[in-house]
């Protein structure tokens, strides 16, 4: 008679053993996902999300089953679109992958968004909008373009926000309660831009520029549209400075600040000439390059001589796992531990960006939610985001995927 103590000796026990083995294998293979899900739930409760304002919530609710062109959902304008929403120095990473691009980010107070731009591949003259928003060409979707997801809805929001204003009024931004707040739209070019692609980018953003909604730099008294600027009451503020690259000029801050990143080359930002008198697309400078001074007088063909300042740039960025941050030891960061040496290096980089009048960005954070949040806290502290003054004038943007959790955490720090 077979022994019942051996699993192979009885079919019922054999089936039970197989089931237990399968469940154990499944758990072991998915344990990190299970832990991540539990941690996200716990930390989401610890830092309550910011409930969408009623106006923007109506837009998001109307989105379901509608075309991806979000201006369709703004046809019935909610006058309190962003009323009650506090702007925060947050950037919505991979914003275009969210269920409601741009609007999910606005609902929690993000002041920066990134659009990965992929050309269609045939930059022909009869193609009015070859700028698709995607990681690569395999993800192209006719409904997801720079114009449909960002340019058109931003135009619609700003047109309504400024309805009834006169020439002497300041142009109001997207946040009702803080109309002076400018938001940054990062144009992340996934390919090195051809002249045709760069022309298409400028053509796509032209409607924003023509209506005076874009932050711009000028070295003379014109606004890039042929209009004379005397007393610029339309800008939320103006900054006068002397640049070693572009000379004397003025930065006029408007509701939208465009930033070229990814494969955007500095010479195109400079309009291929350091003597250009106007620009409304700014550079996302390489933050690690600030650790060393320029190697000599500015030379457009020599990257080591580039000198970035507000006349040409808005931010300076690096990956968190770049050697300039990790100092060769990336393992602690994965577990949410920032060593004292790494913290000092982050301080150095943020300070270097501030000294140039730029905002720092650190992207590419890895690890479980709890680990990411631990690093977020360090970045918030070092970029001065822990109080009301820092919220309005932070030393950078916190780049996150979990925008609702990060927004709640930042609001809890501010108090």
- Predicted pLDDT at 123: 46
H, E, C per residue of the chain: CCCCCCHHHCHHHHHHHHHHHHHHHHHHHHHHHHHHHHHHHHHHHHCCCCCCCHHHHHHHHCCCCCCCCHHHHHCCCCCCCCCCCCCEEEEECCHHHCCCCCHHHHHHCEEEEEEEEEECCCCCCCCCCCEEECCCHHHCCCCCEHHHHHHHHHHHHHHHHCCCCCCCCCCCCCCCCCCCCCEEEEEEECCCCCHHHHHHHHHHHHHHHHCCCECEEECCCECCCCCECCCCCCCCEEEEEEECCCEEEEEEECCEEEEEEECCCHHHHCCCCCCCCEECEEEEEEHHHHHCCCCCCCCCCCHHHCCCCCCCEEEEEEECCCHHHHCCCCHHHHCCCCCHHHHHHHHHHHHHHHHCCCEEEEECCCCCHHHHHHHHHHHHHHCCCCCHHHHHCCCEEEEECCHHHHHHHHHHHHC
Tell me what pLDDT residue 51 has.
Answer: 54
Q: What pLDDT, on the 0 to 100 scale, is given for residue 130?
A: 66
Low-confidence ranges of the chain (pLDDT < 50): 1-16, 18-20, 22-23, 26-27, 29-30, 32-34, 36-37, 40-41, 44, 67, 123-126
pTM of the shown model:
0.85
Q: What is the pLDDT of residues 131-163, one digit of tens each?
A: 888 877 777 777 788 998 999 999 999 998 998
pLDDT at 23: 46
The reported pLDDT for the residue numbered 361 is 97
């Amino acid at each position: 008679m077979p022994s019942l103590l051996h699993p192979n000796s009885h079919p019922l026990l054999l089936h039970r053993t197989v089931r237990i083995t399968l469940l154990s294998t499944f758990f072991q293979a998915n344990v990190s996902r299970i832990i991540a899900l539990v941690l996200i739930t716990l930390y989401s409760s610890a830092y309550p999300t910011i409930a969408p304002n009623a106006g923007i919530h109506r837009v998001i609710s109307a989105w379901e089953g509608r075309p991806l062109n979000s201006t369709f959902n703004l046809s019935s304008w909610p006058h309190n679109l962003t009323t009650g929403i506090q702007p925060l120095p947050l950037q919505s990473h991979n914003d275009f992958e969210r269920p409601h691009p741009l609007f999910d980010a606005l609902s929690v107070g993000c002041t920066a968004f990134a659009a990965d731009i992929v050309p269609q591949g045939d930059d022909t003259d009869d193609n009015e909008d070859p700028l698709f928003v995607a990681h690569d060409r395999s993800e192209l979707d006719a409904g997801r373009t720079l114009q449909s997801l960002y340019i058109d809805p931003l135009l619609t929001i700003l047109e309504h926000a400024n309805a009834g204003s006169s020439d002497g009024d300041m142009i109001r931004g997207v946040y009702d309660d803080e109309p002076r707040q400018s938001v940054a739209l990062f144009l992340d070019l996934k390919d090195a831009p051809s002249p045709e692609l760069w022309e298409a980018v400028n053509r796509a953003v032209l409607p924003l520029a023509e209506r005076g909604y874009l932050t711009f730099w000028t070295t003379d008294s014109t606004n890039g549209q042929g209009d004379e600027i005397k007393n610029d009451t339309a800008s939320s503020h103006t900054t006068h400075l002397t640049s070693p690259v572009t000379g004397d000029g003025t930065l006029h801050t408007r509701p939208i600040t465009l930033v070229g990143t990814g494969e955007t080359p500095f010479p195109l930002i400079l309009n291929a000439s350091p003597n250009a008198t106007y620009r409304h697309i700014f550079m996302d400078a390489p933050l690690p390059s600030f650790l060393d001074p320029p190697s000599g007088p500015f030379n457009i063909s020599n990257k080591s001589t580039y000198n970035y300042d507000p006349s040409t740039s808005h931010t300076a960025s690096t990956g968190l796992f770049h050697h300039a941050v990790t100092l060769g030891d990336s393992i602690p960061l994965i577990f949410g531990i920032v060593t004292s040496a790494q913290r000092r290096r982050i301080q150095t980089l943020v300070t270097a960006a501030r000294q140039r009048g730029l905002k720092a960005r650190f992207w590419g954070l890895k690890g479980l939610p709890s680990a990411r949040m631990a690093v977020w806290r360090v970045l918030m502290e070092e970029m001065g985001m822990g109080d009301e003054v820092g919220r309005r004038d932070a030393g950078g943007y916190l780049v996150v995927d979990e925008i609702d959790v990060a927004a709640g955490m930042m609001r809890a720090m501010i108090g």
